[in-house]
């Protein structure tokens, strides 16, 4: 096809390239793709059956389930060109204009490469909207994937192979379809404002609550009451299910927090799912055969082995002021009965104000003071320091809390060296795990089940029995234990997912990250530049 050489153009051409008013976003890689094929068409066959093209266009329509807009990949233009070809062959049998076939070639290849790129890397570069994103993404040879699809006459399968294979991503796709249907059907009604509702109440607002929970799927028909205004046991059970799915205290009471969650529209929930599909496209395919996932928005740590969750526990994460960053690491050792050297920033912002308000604070907490940050720094008596006159900028003392029951790190910390100095650890403040919202730390992750996590990580060494672990955690001397095999750790922020119960779970956007992602995705929602 001689015209193809003209349309492809030289590699590295300056400026954007357009085809039928659609910008070819892959114009920089199209020449290399066709040079590798010696300028042979990829989609145009001798009999012009265009079977690969038609199958791909059908598959392209389905990327809407990924939260992607098929129109961003020339869908309407492709359908128009196919119609032209069908009309030309029907009305004037003979050769179709080569320019039309070249247009089809360019648009199809560009659509596959661009859509494939978005499935592999996401539409939005996470580093442009999340300054704390440090997780490795995926790398795929898109041209090779397309060639394989063409060779096997199964381009849809080639496109599907570029989707994240994680079960959570596939579950989110199903959730996206479910909520699109809810939105098409009008969603659920608004929950009227008013005082809290609980079992035994009889109120007209109970009717709305029933309707909302029925539409959401939390209230099955079997739990419907004969009196629609009565808050009965079945409704309480349904409300607890809703609260559990939304990370709320499952008390069965429609109070302020629950009312706020009920007020979120189906359209907003759909947008939330779409944002989290995008987040999954940012993540490496290889999380590790054994790995630890920290979902910051869910305040939860999970240990996953061969795709199955084998241990899960509540966690406490960084506050909005000291957010836990998104990154991956390799956990290689733990420290029983750790000491805690207070980071300089925390010393200035937390320790100094407390000492100034309570001269006995350091003694109560078992914190020692050293004259500077050198390894052999001399320990000094806190009573010799004029704390009220000490300014934060001049504070150069090193504070260290020795092992013990009051140590802020608790009885064990799990180490995966990183530039943020963030790790998992125990805590003496066990009561904080009873709270539904747990963004309370200075960035590190506190875990509810440190003994169980240590048992799992040391399971390859039979000498580390549970009894020995508990003894080591209660010691007064720090003991470092290196694992026989390091474990991958991924600290990620997800506000929506499909749970093992087959239901969609949502979490509050505690770090206000979703809004920036919504805006970035919406900029791409209108279709390709023309």
324 & 405 share domain: yes
Q: What is the SS3 assignment for 367?
A: strand
d(CA 512, CA 208) in angstroms, rounded, equals: 29
Q: Are residues 105 and 227 in the same domain?
A: no
293 and 259 share one domain: no
Are the beta carbons of 23 and 528 closer than 8 angstroms?
A: yes
What's the domain count of the chain? Answer: 3
Please name which of 327, 292, 331 lies closest in space to residue 449, comparing C-alpha atoms: 292
Nearest to 116 by CA among 89, 80, 156: 156
The rounded distance, in Å, linking the Cα atoms of 31 and 27 is 7
DSSP string for 264-312: S-HHHHHHHHHHHHHHHHTS-S---SEEEEEEGGGTEEEEEETTEEEEE
Angstrom distance (rounded) from CA 251 to CA 525: 39
Residues in the chain: 530
- Cα separation, 262 vs 246, in Å, equals 10
Q: Is 57 left (phi over 0), alpha (psi -120 to 50) or beta?
A: alpha
Answer yes or no: do 418 and 370 share one domain. yes
The per-residue pLDDT string of the chain (530 residues; one tens digit each, 9 = 90 and over) reads: 555 665 665 554 556 788 888 888 876 788 889 888 888 999 998 888 899 999 999 999 999 999 999 999 999 999 999 998 888 877 766 678 889 999 999 999 999 999 999 999 999 988 888 777 788 888 899 999 999 999 999 999 999 999 998 888 999 999 999 999 999 999 999 999 999 999 999 999 999 999 999 999 999 987 777 889 999 999 999 999 999 999 999 999 999 999 999 999 999 999 999 999 999 999 988 898 999 999 999 999 999 998 889 999 999 999 998 999 999 999 999 999 999 999 898 999 999 999 999 989 999 899 999 999 998 899 999 999 999 989 988 899 999 999 988 899 999 999 999 989 899 999 999 999 999 899 999 999 999 999 999 999 999 999 999 999 999 999 989 999 999 999 999 999 999 998 888 899 999 999 999 988 998 988 866 544 33
Phi, psi of 309, rounded to the nearest 5 degrees = -75, 120
Asked if residue 143 belongs to a domain, the reply is yes
Q: How far is CA 178 from CA 182, 188, 215, 345, in A?
A: 6, 13, 11, 46
Through-space distance between the first and last CA atoms of the chain, rounded to whole angstroms: 26
Instruction: Dig out the tokens for 146 from the structure.
Output: 């397309």
260 shares its domain with 291:
no
Task: Note down the domain range covering 112.
Answer: 2-164
d(CA 281, CA 120): 6
Task: Mark whether 160 and 192 lie in a shared domain.
Answer: no
Tokens 């060779």 correspond to what residue?
151
Distance between CA atoms of residues 33 and 112, nearest Å: 12
Please tell me the distance from the alpha carbon of residue 396 to that of residue 32, in angstroms, as a whole number: 58
**Would you please indicate which residues are annotated as catalytic (active-site) residues?**
425, 444
CATH number at residue 452: 2.40.440.10
Identify the CA nearest to 49 among candidates 104, 99, 11, 5: 104
Whether residue 341 is found in the same domain as residue 484: yes
Task: Based on the fold, state whether residues 229 and 336 are members of the same structural domain.
Answer: no
The one-character DSSP state at 224 is -
Q: Is residue 418 part of a domain?
A: yes
Closest CA to 282 of 452, 3, 523, 513: 513
Residue 172 lies in a domain: no
User: Is the domain of 314 the same as that of 213?
Assistant: no
Would you call 339 helix, strand, or coil by DSSP? coil
Indicate if 55 and 202 belong to the same structural domain.
Answer: no
DSSP-assigned beta bridge partners for residue 305: 290, 308
On whether residue 276 sits in a domain, the answer given is no
82 and 205: one domain? no
- Structural domain contains residue 458: yes
Residues 343 and 462 occupy one common structural domain: yes
What's the DSSP call for residue 197? B
């Amino acid at each position: 096809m001689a015209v193809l050489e003209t349309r492809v153009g030289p590699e590295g051409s300056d400026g954007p390239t357009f085809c039928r008013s659609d910008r070819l976003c892959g114009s920089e890689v199209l020449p290399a793709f066709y040079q590798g094929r010696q300028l042979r068409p990829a989609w145009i066959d001798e009999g012009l059956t265009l079977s690969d093209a038609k199958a791909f266009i059908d598959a392209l329509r389905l990327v809407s389930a990924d939260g992607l807009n098929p129109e961003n990949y020339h869908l309407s233009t492709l359908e128009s060109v196919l119609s032209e070809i069908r009309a030309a062959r029907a009305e004037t049998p003979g050769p179709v204009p080569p320019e039309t076939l070249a247009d089809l070639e360019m648009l199809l290849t560009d659509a596959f490469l661009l859509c494939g790129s978005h499935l592999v890397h996401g539409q939005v570069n996470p580093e442009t909207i999340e300054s704390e994103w440090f997780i490795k993404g995926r790398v795929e040879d898109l041209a090779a994937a397309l060639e394989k699809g063409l060779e096997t006459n199964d381009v849809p399968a080639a496109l599907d192979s570029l989707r994240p294979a994680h079960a959570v991503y596939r579950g989110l796709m199903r959730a996206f379809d479910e909520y699109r249907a809810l939105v098409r059907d009008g969603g659920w009604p608004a929950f009227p404002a008013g005082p809290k509702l609980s079992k035994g109440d009889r109120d007209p607002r109970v009717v709305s609550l029933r309707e909302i929970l029925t539409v959401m799927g939390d209230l099955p028909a079997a739990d419907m009451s004969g009196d629609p205004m009565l808050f009965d046991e079945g409704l309480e059970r349904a409300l607890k299910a809703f609260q559990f799915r939304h990370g709320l205290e499952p008390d069965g009471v429609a109070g302020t927090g629950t009312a706020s969650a009920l007020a979120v529209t189906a359209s907003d929930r759909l947008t939330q799912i779409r944002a989290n599909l995008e987040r999954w496209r940012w993540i490496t395919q290889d999380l590790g055969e054994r790995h630890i996932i920290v979902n910051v928005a869910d305040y939860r740590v999970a240990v996953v082995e061969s795709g199955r969750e084998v241990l899960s526990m509540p966690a406490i994460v960084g506050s909005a002021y000291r957010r836990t960053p998104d990154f991956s690491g390799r956990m290689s050792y733990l420290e029983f009965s750790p000491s805690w050297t207070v980071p300089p920033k925390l010393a200035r912002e937390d320790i100094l104000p407390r000492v100034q308000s309570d001269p006995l604070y350091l003694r109560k907490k078992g914190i020692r003071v050293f004259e500077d940050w050198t390894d052999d720094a001399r320990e000094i008596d806190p009573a010799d320091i004029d704390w009220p006159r000490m300014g934060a900028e001049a504070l150069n003392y090193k504070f260290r809390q020795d092992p013990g029951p009051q140590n802020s790190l608790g009885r064990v910390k799990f180490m995966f060296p990183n530039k943020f100095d963030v790790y998992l650890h125990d805590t003496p403040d066990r009561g904080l795990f009873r709270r539904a919202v747990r963004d309370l730390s200075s960035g590190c992750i506190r875990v509810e089940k440190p003994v169980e996590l240590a048992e799992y990580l040391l399971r390859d060494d039979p000498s580390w029995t549970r009894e020995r672990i508990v003894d080591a955690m209660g010691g007064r001397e720090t003991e470092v234990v290196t694992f026989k095999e390091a474990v991958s750790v991924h600290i990620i922020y997800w506000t929506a997912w499909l749970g093992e119960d087959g239901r969609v779970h949502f979490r509050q956007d505690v770090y206000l990250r979703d809004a920036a992602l919504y805006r970035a995705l919406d900029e791409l929602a209108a279709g390709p530049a023309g």
